[in-house]
Structure 1
């Protein structure tokens, strides 16, 4: 946690705390007042003071917060009215916990320390209120000028110097204050290439039933933006949105032409991420909404600055195919169309999108820092721009021709290889099935012809060889045809002799032999599923007649 900058002053009856917490949520402040102990917590800031006098909490205390300055002011009554507190300017001594020593002892009993640690192991999960604190020091102007810029209009720097640990889950840039714009872009492209999963992409490409349903969804702006011409500006906002607007403070921005160009393009990038989130969740925000928006926006995730609409679309398209649940090029096209519709509807529709994003980030920890860096300024700035400048962005978005090859992920080659593999697999199955069916039909025709010929010969020579077994001529053409058509291993097993059959035959009830169930001239065809051979077994003639 971070020790905030603070000052103490006093009046006859009150002690006044001035605590600067610029990067925190205004709705979450925790205070603890008990005599000489004072604790203040507003994530990621924590302040613990040991006061030279006693203060009380009796209902007369008052607190205020200046959003522009990020300054929290608290007036707490003294327990003894008129008492003068000495040493309020000695900030280091105020930060020291009660009973702390100026230096550690030169000799320590290690065994005692280990015994103490073992005894306190059960309480290790409790928060350490006596955590070490350091006095806040302002960064010099020279240091701030040497740092890299980011945020709305690239006007911010030094924000992540002390907040890097707390904000590591919000952005993907490891050290943004020391990372140039070129290095950020190179890092983003490398991370996207490493994250791209061809299997995930192909699965969403060929099994797209859920995605087709998402493409049929009609977002809120398709209805509300069309009705804006019939309503006044105040009627376009809900009561919650109007309350959000009242909380914003008026700000002035000195922006040159180049800076404005970056601002507009970053706005397009943020709205693209928002439209994807709305479509894929069908307008129902979830716990992943904050992650989706900031992850799909290179502006929010990598502090990117863009130079053209095409750069924005390529960046957004790559991130859609690398990070979210649904990774389909049709969703990219739909998001571009939705964004064009939003800008065509004017700044009121754009502002409603920004207010929704602001709410999502405000309710998510620690994504709220992105409101301070980007979204709050966008909400204030967009109200001052001319509507024709907003609507002018719709035309280049409609005319933008984003192709799969532009994304640099070899999508065309990947899809072609997948289609070819699928066709080969299906073609092989059809070829095998067709040739087998054709061979079987030929075998059956040959078998029937041979049978008819055999019957005629048998009728002509009736009585001459009535006792001899008929030749199994009908089975041989079938075996030969299957052997030629099926490209698999064939194994023909020798038929069992009568002696072996008698050995393996189970005894029947009451000492009688079990009757055989196979015909004397039947051929058994057994297919092994794993090796795919054909096992041909000829049953021998029964030795006993019924």
Structure 2
């Protein structure tokens, strides 16, 4: 079946769905409404939407097909007039499956029959039976008399049983098989090599850290620090996503078509996994911000390499968190300063070890961009992810990272991310203070040495000019 192009709008009493399905017969249209779920089938098109509030069909509802334009317009009545249906412009969220309903009811016991003990021997029987009980049985008997308040302890978490050498990776570890023939691909950013399908998370992280140390170049950093005129221009570049008015935001027709092709999944993530997704999102937005600044919003053939190289979840299949001690005790939407610092320190390291422009000040500007994009909400964040997807999809090798990360992240951002959480995260990033000693390299020492060398060259030039003046003949009177 083909998912048609569509758009949604609303009035005070109705929700209007406009579906583009040219060259069909109006008599073949099948429409079904079930509370929040709306579906329309007209061969070969099928569309199923899940609204935020219930709708129904009544005398005020209608479905009109215009053969001249190819649009089917369906008007559905709101169950509660005046209710605001949010996110009607987020097509991926409307296309996402209806969330599973968790069972809230507790199991109950139905008493079918009871037998009473004769009163004459009750006491004696109880004494004899109690004396025969073991210690464990007595604890259970006492617990039964005390509303079953048995002493309990949290069991140790067991590692997942591995029945295969293959390891999963990507968004929520739901992907595998994309790197089975990696030796035949010219994937320059793959830091795990041929072991991508079998390496453990710890092995991936070790390889990432080792590769960063190998690529770190002190002379490159000092040269960019000494001659930073062009880098200052990159830092001053205004990101259009941060300067355009929020009220003018609207997805383009191209973006809507891309969202129609995104996977339609229900992501059942645990609180810890949700927390990790927000942190990994920061690394994606940082890479996007760096690429946008260094190309000033005009992607080049190197843009896909830049995005893949700067994102640890891509190049090393190593997503956040990078501070495990902090993340164990943190709620899904509460972010500790230490773990945010560890996430950005990882992104900073990669920005200082791999791309052309290596500057701590440029990395700081990218972090400010991340905070600004998050503050704009999930619509703007999703637009950035769609731009990342567009760049990666055009590359013959790096498109794989779009499949295992960006596609799912785009859907999750639109359908599951919370604007309030993104706003709190933006505030936390704005208040974060990144220090150069957090990166793991002696940046301050290299900068001091660069300034000292610059001063020496300046003094040497002054001395040379004085010597030349002394050697010149005196002017004629």
Partner of 2:411: 380
* 1:396-415 matched pairs, under 5 angstroms: 396-415=428-447
Counterpart for residue 236 of structure 1: 250
Residue 191 of structure 1 corresponds to which residue in structure 2? 211
Partner of 1:322: 353
CA distance in 2, matches of 1:440, 1:153: 74
Q: Determine helix, strand or coil for the equivalent of 1:177.
A: coil
Q: Distance in 2 between matches of 1:412 and 1:425?
A: 20
Q: Does residue 207 in structure 1 map to residue 227 in structure 2?
A: yes
1:357 Cα deviation from its structure 2 partner: 0.9
Per-residue Cα deviation, 1:295-335 (whole angstroms, up to 9, x for no partner): 11111111113222212211111111111111111110110
Following superposition, the deviation at residue 145 of structure 1 comes to 5.0
CA–CA separation in structure 1 for the residues paired with 2:467 and 2:391? 62
One of 268, 293, 303 as aligned partner of 1:279: 293
* Cα deviation digits, residues 451-474 of structure 1 (max 9, x gap): xxxxxxxxxxxxxxxxxxxxxxxx
Q: How does 1:507-522 map to 2 (within 5 A)?
A: none
Q: Which residue of 2 aligns with 1:166?
A: 185
Contact 1:144 1:158 in 2 (8 A): no
**1:350 and 2:368 matched:** no
Between the aligned partners of 2:430 and 2:348, the Cα distance in structure 1 is 15
Residues 187-246 of structure 1: per-residue CA shift (max 9 Å, x gap): 11221122122222122111111111112211121233xx22x24xxx610010011111
Cα 1:239–1:436 change in 2 (3 A) is closer
Q: Indicate if the aligned counterparts of 2:308 and 2:314 stay in contact, CA closer than 8 A.
A: yes
The CA deviation string for residues 464-523 of structure 1, in whole angstroms up to 9 with x for no partner, is xxxxxxxxxxxxxxxxxxxxxxxxxxxxxxxxxxxxxxxxxxxxxxxxxxxxxxxxxxxx
Shift of 1:422: 2.9
Equivalent in the alignment of 1:391: 423
Pairing 1:257–2:239 present: no
| 1:19-168 correspondence to structure 2 within 5 Å | 145-163=164-182, 165-166=184-185, 168=187
Q: Supply the RMSD in Å over aligned alpha carbons.
A: 2.8
Does the C-alpha gap of structure 1 residues 144 and 330 become closer, same or farther in structure 2, counting only changes over 3 Å? farther
1:7-22 aligned within 5 A = none
Q: Which residue in the other structure is 2:450 paired with? A: 418
Structure 2 residue 299 is the aligned partner of structure 1 residue 299: no
Whole-angstrom CA distance in 2 between matches of 1:341 and 1:264: 15
Q: Please state whether the residue corresponding to 2:414 is helix, strand or coil.
A: coil
Which one has a bigger Cα radius of gyration? Answer: 1
Residue deviations 1:251-287 (CA, integer Å, cap 9, x gap) = 1011111111211111110110001101110110111
Q: Distance in 2 between matches of 1:222 and 1:151?
A: 29
Aligned partners of 1:247 and 1:289: how far apart in 2?
23
With normalisation by structure 1, the TM-score equals 0.51
Indicate the SS of the match to 1:309.
helix
TM-superposition CA deviations, 1:16-50 (whole Å, max 9, x none)? xxxxxxxxxxxxxxxxxxxxxxxxxxxxxxxxxxx
* Unmatched segments (≥5 aa) in structure 2: 1-44, 46-159, 322-338
Write the deviation string for residues 157-193 of structure 1: whole angstroms up to 9, x where unpaired.
Answer: 4442345533743522111222222222221122112
Specify whether residues 432 and 403 from structure 1 end up closer, same or farther in structure 2 by C-alpha distance, changes over 3 A only. same
Unaligned runs of 5+ residues in structure 1 are 1-63, 65-140, 445-546
TM-score (norm: length of structure 2) = 0.58
Which residue does the alignment assign to 2:342? Answer: 311
Asked if structure 2 preserves the Cα contact closer than 8 Å seen for 1:149 and 1:157, the reply is yes
Residues 368 and 430 of structure 2 are in contact (CA less than 8 Å); yes or no, is this contact kept in structure 1?
A: yes
d(CA) in 1 for partners of 2:374, 2:426: 5
Q: Which has the higher contact order (CA 8 A, sep 6+)?
A: 2
Deviation at 1:365, TM superposition (A): 0.8
Shift of 1:435: 8.5
Q: What is the rounded CA distance, in whole Å, between the counterparts of 2:460 and 2:299 in structure 1?
A: 47
> What whole-Å deviation, never above 9, does each CA across 1:432-457 have from its counterpart, x for those lacking one?
766997x999xx9xxxxxxxxxxxxx
Offset of residue 368 of structure 1: 1.4
